[in-house]
Amino acid sequence: MTPSWHILGAGSLGGLWATRLFRAGVPPRVILRTPQRLADYHASGGLSLIEHDRCSLYPVAAELPDARTPISRLLVACKAYDAEAAIAELAPRLVKGADILLLQNGLGSQQAIAERWPDSRCVFVSSTEGAYREGDFRIVHAGQGHNWLGAPEGRTPPSWLAELDAAGIPYAWTDDILGKLWRKLAINCAINPLSVLHDCRNGQLLTQRTSLHRLCNELGDLLRACNQAGAAEGLEDEVLRVVEATANNYSSMYQDVRNGRRTEVSFLLGQACRTAQRQGLATPELCGLLERLQAFLRRHGLPAD
């Protein structure tokens, strides 16, 4: 029988989705990148999910990209910079009209994938759930959140959403997924790069009110220029609310840098600056911030894209 879900990437979010589907009786197959990763996976016995300090092991089936089974629903759970190349490896297995769910943060990777595989139906996801890897194939569910799902060209909600209900995956279908993704991108652009450059927790950015104000002004102009006026409304107020509500946290970009991992800057602040340039919009604060961030990343031996 063809499994209903294939999950590309068994990292933090991929593992979180795979384990919840598995225990709801909707067993997915996870796709790992190399025979070595598959051997490591089998040695670990499956995916472990840690919730409220309790750990459960789920023997989710795993395979390589070149396995034979056709793929009719694919959840892409790689980082934005890996997603397109990862799909390309298994693309011959995609059936016509396959659903591809894209969990990537920021914007840019989703559009590239939708253009490259026009016979598939891409669903974009904006997630505020929190998960991290405590070890290989050991995922900690760290923060409750929500998933907005939608298709940019608009379509009726797919029938498989019922499987997310069964799995207890919190979601809502939206006709404005681009607005949600732009809004999240804008909040990220205001907070994350500054937290890296000032080497601080989110709360300490309250001492950078002038920078936050200027960035939010430019981001608002950018959103309006992209026909995302709704996403621009009350942006600065929400940025300040997020900074206060997450005062003790380090941003995801800060954590990537601290752990020596590549960031998704190209799909966040980089995407904002490229879009502004295409729109002929001057955004000196955003561009200056990107330059300082990229210089910082290079100094720390990390990719600047």
The reply to whether 10 sits near ligand NAP by the rule CB under 6 A is: yes
Q: How many CB atoms lie within 10 A of CB 164?
A: 19
The reply to whether 140 sits near ligand NAP by the rule CB under 6 A is: no
128-148 core/surface letters (b: 16 or more CB in 10 A; e: else): ebbbbeeeebbbbbeeeeebb
- Do residues 76 and 104 touch, judged by C-beta distance below 8 A? yes
Cβ neighbours of residue 210 closer than 8 Å, sequence gap 6 or more:
none
Binding mask 253-272 for ligand NAP (x = CB under 6 A): -----------x--------
Among 13, 122, 223, 239, binds ligand NAP (CB under 6 A): 13
Residue nearest ligand NAP, CB atom distance? 11
Residue 126 Cβ, how far from ligand NAP at the closest point, in Å? 8
Closest by CA to 120, choosing from 8, 197, 220, 281, is 8
Among 18, 21, 74, 86, binds ligand NAP (CB under 6 A): 86
Residue 131 Cβ, how far from ligand NAP at the closest point, in Å? 5
The reply to whether 42 sits near ligand NAP by the rule CB under 6 A is: no
184 has catalytic annotation: yes
Give the interface segment with ligand NAP, choosing from 12-20, 160-168, 197-205, 241-249 (CB under 6 A). Answer: 12-20
Whose tokens are 């959840």? That residue is 75
Rounded Cα gap, residues 282 and 290, in angstroms:
14
Rounded Cα gap, residues 164 and 151, in angstroms:
17
Coil, helix or strand at residue 21:
helix
Binding mask 201-240 for ligand NAP (x = CB under 6 A): ----------------------------------------
* Residue number, 218 or 264, with CB nearest to ligand NAP: 264
- Do residues 49 and 19 touch, judged by C-beta distance below 8 A? yes
Residue 229 Cβ, how far from ligand NAP at the closest point, in Å? 25
Q: What is the dihedral of CA 76, 77, 79, 82, to 10 degrees?
A: -40
What the block records as the tokens of 157 is: 């909600």
Give the interface segment with ligand NAP, choosing from 10-18, 41-49, 110-118, 233-241 (CB under 6 A). Answer: 10-18
Active-site residues, by number, are: 184
Task: Provide the binding-site residues for ligand NAP, judged by CB under 6 A.
Answer: 8-14, 31-33, 37, 77-80, 82, 86, 89, 103-105, 127, 129-131, 133, 264
